[in-house]
Structure 1
Amino acid sequence: MQAYEALAVRRYAQIIGLSICAFVLADFLCLSVSNVTIDAYNGFELIIACSIAGAYWVAGKFAALMATRSQSRLSRVWKGAGATFENIAIFMAVFIPMSIASCLFMYLAASTTRPRLDWLLVAGDKTLGFDWPSALGYANSHPKIAAVLVFCYEALTYQLPVVVLWHAVTNQRLRLLEFVAILFASSVLTAIIMAAVPVDGPYLYFRPAPSLFDHFTNAGLSHAATVDALRSGAPFDFLISKTVGITCFPSFHTTLGIIITYAMRRTPLLIPIALVNAVMIVSTVPEGGHYLVDVIGGGVVAVTAIVGVTFFASANQQDLAQRMAARS
């Protein structure tokens, strides 16, 4: 590994570590003043997840060992398998604690009794000439368009594994760490904005009749019962496997769509993923239950995270390259 790549890896690792620590610290500070409690069953689920990550790591080391004991052609197969397993294990090792800590913070932030600021986002939409109920009605009046929007919205669930597997199988660990760093940085930015600007979302604000969105699922309302329970003041048990998306502003679907597309640049999958995500971002308005301002906010978060992480990782690389050239 060249020196500038090693520097980038350290920078990505710093962003990843700081992001996890930021969420853990925020959770620790907020739990004592919240009605949210951590369900003991989380420990069992954590053990299972860590066991799977450990199994990938062991499989990677075993494959690497077999690579040293096999013939040339078979050795390359074992070596490739070992790198793949190790890359997946590395991803899981950081994604597991981050997913728990970040989801817990989102729930803690949503448990606030502060007034909702939907009116502010509605005003922002109107300033842009956008009317959410009209947009919902138009999309719902075209069943085929609605079906495509729903499909692309749900397709995002499968894109994260695709990104991880692509970079793991092709052994692009540096690019995988870049993706994780951007993902984690965008999660921190989203959490800060979500906590600062509590909103219900347009489905709860406008309360359209069911007939006005009968060609869409209830994704835009899936958070309603959870948010009501969090705000009730009654004890709420947090269980990671039962969590739902409760972030309204900014749209994290939009953020994910952009950073996933960015992560798959220079790959054969770029064009199909970009097309699906372009439609998915549109679908966040009627299907995901987001204001137009939410979508713009999610885009700003994604671009900020990409630019910030890229700049931080590449800082001083030119000076490093010049010093290496001088030594040689």
Structure 2
Amino acid sequence: MPVVKGVAMFAAFGFLIDYSRRAPRVAEAAHYCALWIGFFVALEILSYAVATLRMPLWDSQFARADAALGFNWNAGFDWITALSPWLRSILEHAYHNTIIQVLLLTAFFAAIKRRDRNRELLWIGILSGLITITLSGLFPALGPYGKGGMPRWSAVLLTLRDGSLQKFALGSMTGVVSFPSFHTVIAVLVVYVNRPPLRSFVPVAILNALMLVAIPFAGHHYLVDMIAGVAVTTVSILIVRTARTRCARA
């Protein structure tokens, strides 16, 4: 219910402001926030459903691919844990700001009258999210982990695969997608939609560069997860740009 109320509140507020025609930029921000919250929740539910396909785990193949690329997850994790607490805190906050970053950018684009960037952000996000969840069902993985034991999301994925988890509450859900990395998708996407001439490009790029450093270890991802995330975003950008160009010509 909190999610339903949140979406309804943003949608109703946007409708009322739009109807009054007094603050169109506020109405746009509210509309897009409602759409994004609804989409994120639907995507999370879909990821749980897709996990019940119970396709064979790909951890061994992904680990071998990382080794072939020269990426040592355990060495990188040891390096991260050896950093000073304030550096680790910066990386952790950079990793956990995806939803907040998207909602703030929605308000920012509305405020500077760049509805085209809001539209790009939403459509590319929807397409790349659906591709990501589909691939996660076909190529599931638990992700790498070290001496600290299996992360919570990997344990949840196992309960979804063996059928022991059949009921869940939205508030207790966690991400269960390893391949491709959706955090990488969001990082690349938000940098793209802030491309010049927007002055927000440099600070957004720095913030998401920090996120990319944190993703393998905070999210327990293989390097190939991130490479796949970049590929998914690139394909989604090309598809949306092509579709928008054709629509504009029509």
Q: Does 1:197 find its partner at 2:135?
A: no
Report what 2:120 is aligned to.
Answer: 178
Change in 2 beyond 3 A, CA 1:53/1:293:
same
Q: Residue 12 of structure 2 aligns with which residue?
A: 54
In the alignment, is residue 284 of structure 1 matched against residue 225 of structure 2? no
Contact 2:57 2:140 in 1 (8 A): yes
Partner residue in 2 for 1:94: 35
Separation in 2 of the partners of 1:288 and 1:131? 15
Deviation, structure 1 residue 316: 6.4
- Residue 302, structure 1, aligned to residue 240, structure 2: no
Q: Please list, as runs of the form range in 1=range in 2, the aligned pairs for 1:35-184 lying within 5 A after superposition.
A: 42=1, 45-62=3-20, 64=21, 78=22, 82-143=23-84, 145-184=87-126
Tell whether the 8 Å contact from 1:152 to 1:276 is kept in structure 2 after alignment: yes
8 Å Cα contact 1:53/1:89 also seen in 2:
yes
State the TM-score, normalized to the length of structure 2: 0.89
Same amino acid, percent of matched pairs: 24
Q: Indicate whether 1:272 and 2:203 are aligned.
A: yes
Unaligned runs of 5+ in 2: none
The answer as to whether partners of 1:223 and 1:246 remain within 8 angstroms in 2 is yes
Amino acid at match of 2:48: Y
Determine the C-alpha separation between the residues in 1 that align with 2:77 and 2:165: 35
Q: Structure 1: which amino acid aligns with 2:96?
A: E
Q: Which residue of 2 aligns with 1:67?
A: none
User: How many Å separate the matches in 1 of 2:218 and 2:105?
Assistant: 24
Say whether the 8 Å CA contact 1:87–1:171 is kept in structure 2. no
- 1:209 paired residue number: 147
Q: Structure 1: 5+ residue runs without aligned partners?
A: 1-41, 65-77, 211-217, 321-328
Q: Distance in 1 between matches of 2:82 and 2:213?
A: 16
Shift of 1:289: 0.8
Give the counterpart letter for 1:54 in structure 2.
Answer: A
Change (3 A) 1:86 1:147: closer
Matched residue pairs, number?
A: 248
Q: Does 1:260 align with 2:202?
A: no
2:163 maps to: 233
CA contact (8 A) 2:109 2:118 kept: yes
- Alpha-carbon distance, 1:55 to partner: 1.9
8 Å CA contact 1:57, 1:85 repeated in 2:
no
**TM-score, reference length from structure 1:** 0.69
Question: Alpha carbon RMSD of aligned pairs, Å?
Answer: 2.3
Shift of 1:302: 1.1
- Structure 1 residues 151-160 or 264-273, which shifts more? 151-160
Give the counterpart of 1:223 among 145, 153, 156: 153
Moved more, 283-292 or 110-119: 110-119
CA shift for structure 1 position 117: 0.9
1:72 maps to what in 2?
none
